[in-house]
Amino acid sequence: MSEQAGASNFIREIVAADHAAGKHGGRVVTRFPPEPNGYLHIGHAKSICLNFGLAHDTPGGICHLRFDDTNPTTENPEYVQAIQDDVQWLGFDWHEKMLFASDYFERLYEFSVRLIQKGLAYVDTLTAEEMRTYRGTLTEPGKNSPSRTRSVEENLGFFRRMRAGEFADGTHTLRAKIDMASPNINLRDPVLYRIRHAAHYRTGNIWCLYPAYDFAHPLSDALEGITHSICTLEFEDHRPLYEWVVEQAEAPHRPQQIEFARLNLTYTIMSKRKLRELVEKKLVSGWDDPRLPTIKGLRRRGYTPEAIRAFCDHIGVAKREAIVEMQLLEYFIREDLNKRTPRVMAVLRPLKVILDNYPEDQSEELEAVNNPEDPSAGTRKVPFSRILYIEQDDFREDPPKQFFRLAPGREVRLRYAYIIKCVGVTKDLQTGEITELHCTYDPTTKSGASQEQRKVKATIHWVSAAHAVKAEVRLYNPLLVTDLAKVPLDHDWTTYLNPNSLERITSCLVEPSLRQTVPGTRYQFERLGYFCTDQDSTSGTLIFNRTVSLKDAWAKIEKAQPAR
RNA sequence: UGGGGGAUCGUCUAGCGGUAGGACGCCGGCCUUUGGAGCCGGCUACCUAGGUUCGAUUCCUAGUCCCCCAGCCA
């Protein structure tokens, strides 16, 4: 990574100040703590960039990758692997510190025993429903559970038997003894342990007792010597509990919890629950569907880790909830791809063009620039012949104002080739549909041949019919037709999915240099956008994903024009 | 309604008592064999009302609006 350290923000300031003051012995240890119950998305990327970036930019800093795997019913190794892949792909290194909360189960148990011995935790026999009633409401205080007065010995006995598997799920919990009347509901004797007779993907059936987040998280942080425990805003209310646990359990270290606002993006979904719903209901092809904002989806779509990191650096870190416009993400991927991708010509919706005055048996190889942004990318040869295909959008029989492209009697330049003039239009007699164009070319206008003063208003891309390769192209549009924040809660959110989020065009033609393309390769299709070869692409069936379109000035003009 | 947070251009974000800055976006121009890229110029903001102060986006007070919390999820 050669880019500069991330832009400053309030968390960086806190960390820098702590580091300068020698707090925590001058160490900075952060952590990215996903639960392995789903795939990472760009919201996680923000957290990853923050946590790993902070560690990276602080001398001696380190960031742990810790799996918060305290709930055996939702987690599995597939997710663990996917998360590692994604963090690595994004360009970050946990330096051997890949850790698991499940590795702390025994020590966590010891901490809870200590709490019981101090009279600060008790085994409760209330059912879940009773517990809810006893908890009170936002405005009314809760009531003490009858179990709250059990003796230390009794609690210890119960807790041991819970661990031994003597009780069924839901019959007992271990609760912190704090304050049932606290205005902060998280402090009304939160559950520390629950019974789950379920196999954990790492600890198997060793445990039937699992620590809750509010207990496992602060202590895991403390055990790892985390100095700055960065999480999202919804945990602000939990901070007093976090501190209570660390303090009362007499943890070896006191991490500091700091909260920031999670990322939201317009026209997409950033909730793990909803993403899973899309995958499970098969509304998308999988976690790596290029329409999703998952890391895997963005990657398959053609996003680069550099662009995602640049985006994360630029959106900033603050406490106010924000919805970032998708255009900002698109800006960063365009900027990155503009500099690095080779240009090629591809016609998505072909319209046949016959050059009446070009000899039938002739063809030639024209030189094309691979990347005008990068001279070192060199040039390539593109075949040219009498019959070509151009984009349907590049011809209008009755051109509107400001339409500079081809029309009857008009001239345009074929990129890297000649200036042509449209002299005839052939239509299907039945449908009236334009089937082919007759044009003449001007042999004196060959690209680069002379700096003749003849100007044309447009240059369009093309492929040679005899040489072009067939391809499928997948265009992606926003997943949603609106922002979910605006959708009433009682509405089924899936009704706001964009029915046209995926457009498959199967009759595209691409220049022959793409015949040997390999999955994951990125290109700019001139005048259209950035594309990458899909993982499903084979030498027999080329498939390209559109990462993002190019900025389209004409589309904007056309949209602004009055309907004709 | 109890508690915890947050309000600055259309959207993100900076500001730390002294000219409200940047980015995206939008508008206009230049340039161009990509209506791409690049370049130049422009656009619009401190939630409200009081107070402190020579001076307030910043400090204080009172409101308003938005978000989060009543899982044995994280």
> Which residue's CA is nearest to the C1' of nucleotide B7?
A320
Whether the per-residue pLDDT at A271 is higher than 70: the answer is: yes
Half-sphere exposure in the Cβ direction for A414 (13 Å, CA): 33
User: Mind listing the pLDDT tens digit for each residue in A66-84?
Assistant: 999 999 999 999 999 999 9
Instruction: Say how far A294 CA is from B41 C1', in Å.
Output: 39
Query: Would you say the C-beta of A402 is within 7 Å of strand B?
Result: yes
Nucleotide nearest to A317 (CA to C1'): B13
How large is the average pLDDT for residues A319-344? 97
| Nucleotide nearest residue A67, measured CA to C1' | B74
Q: Around Cβ A477, how many Cβ atoms within 10 Å? A: 15
Amino acid, res. A73: T
Is the CB of residue A17 inside 7 Å of nucleic acid strand B? Answer: no
Catalytic pick from A188, A272, A299, A410?
A272
Q: Which of residues 37-56 of A touch strand B (CB under 7 A)?
A: none
Task: Give me the A residues in range 209-228 that sit within 7 A (CB) of strand B.
Answer: 210, 212-214, 216-217
Q: What is the pLDDT of residue A2?
A: 32
User: Is residue A3 predicted with pLDDT exceeding 60?
Assistant: no
CB A508 within 8 A of CB A322: no
Rounded CA-CA distance A447/A450 in Å is: 8
The answer to whether A561 CB sits below 7 Å from nucleic acid chain B is no
The model's pLDDT over A169-219, given as tens digits with 9 standing for 90+, comes to 999 999 999 999 999 999 999 999 999 999 999 999 999 999 999 999 999
Looking only at the bridges linking them, the beta strands covering A522-525 and A173-176 are unpaired
Cα separation of A116 and A383, whole Å?
Answer: 80
**Cβ proximity of A24 and A18 under 8 Å:** yes
Q: List pLDDT tens digits, range A29-57.
A: 999 999 999 999 999 999 999 999 999 99
Confidence band, pLDDT 50/70/90 cuts, at residue A281:
very high
Angle (CA) A310-A234-A242 rounded to 5° is 110
What is the full DSSP assignment across A195-215?
Answer: E----BTTTBTS-SEEE-HHH
Is A272 considered catalytic here? Answer: yes
Task: Give me the pLDDT at residue A1, please.
Answer: 33
Q: Give the other-Cβ count within 10 Å of A51's Cβ.
A: 24
Q: What is the DSSP letter of A530?
A: E
pLDDT tens for each residue of A399-449? 999 999 999 999 999 999 999 999 999 999 999 999 999 999 999 999 987
Q: Which of A35, A154, A243, A472 is catalytic?
A: A35
- CB A171 under 7 Å to nucleic chain B: yes
* Residue A495 neighbours by CB distance under 10 Å: 8
A536: left (phi over 0), alpha (psi -120 to 50) or beta: alpha
Nucleic strand B contacts from chain A, 238-277, CB < 7 Å: 238, 261
Q: Where are the beta strands (DSSP E) in A233-376?
A: 256-260, 343-344, 346-347, 350-355, 363-369
| Residue count of chain A | 564
C-alpha–C-alpha distance, residues A450 and A460, integer Å: 19
pLDDT value of residue A455: 86
CA of A19 to C1' of B59 (A): 29
Check if residue A319 sits with its Cβ under 7 angstroms from strand B: yes
Question: What is the distance in angstroms measured between the alpha-carbon CA of A556 and the sugar C1' of B28?
Answer: 15
Within residues 282-301 of protein chain A, the ones with CB less than 7 A from nucleic strand B are: none
pLDDT at A526: 98
Active site residue A188: no
Whether residue A5 is predicted with pLDDT greater than 60 in this model: the reply is no
Mean pLDDT for all residues in chain A: 96
Residue among A342, A343, A337, A315 at smallest CA distance from A328 = A315
- Strands of A271-429 (E only): list them: 343-344, 346-347, 350-355, 363-369, 379-385, 387-391, 411-414, 419-427
State pLDDT tens for residues A496-508: 999 999 999 999 9
Is A262 tagged catalytic? yes
Q: Which residues are A363's β-sheet partners?
A: A385
Tokens, residue A196: 């789950």
Share of chain A above pLDDT 70, in %: 97
A335 nearest nt, CA–C1': B37
Considering all nucleic acid strands, name the nucleotide whose C1' atom is nearest to the C-alpha of residue A315: B12
What are residue A31's DSSP bridge partners? A64
The protein residue nearest nucleotide B26, judged by CA to C1', is A556
pLDDT tier, A131 (very low <50, low <70, confident <90, very high otherwise): very high
- Looking at residue A555, its pLDDT comes to 95
Nucleotides in chain B near protein beta carbons (<7 Å): 1-8, 10-16, 23-27, 33-38, 66-74
A450 falls in which pLDDT band (50, 70, 90)? low
Confidence of residue A532 (pLDDT cuts 50, 70, 90): very high
Q: Is the pLDDT of residue A453 over 70?
A: no
Residue whose CA is minimally distant from B68 C1': A234
**What is the pLDDT confidence band of residue A561, given thresholds at 50, 70 and 90?**
confident
Task: Using the structure block, give the residue that is written with the tokens 């500069």.
Answer: A4
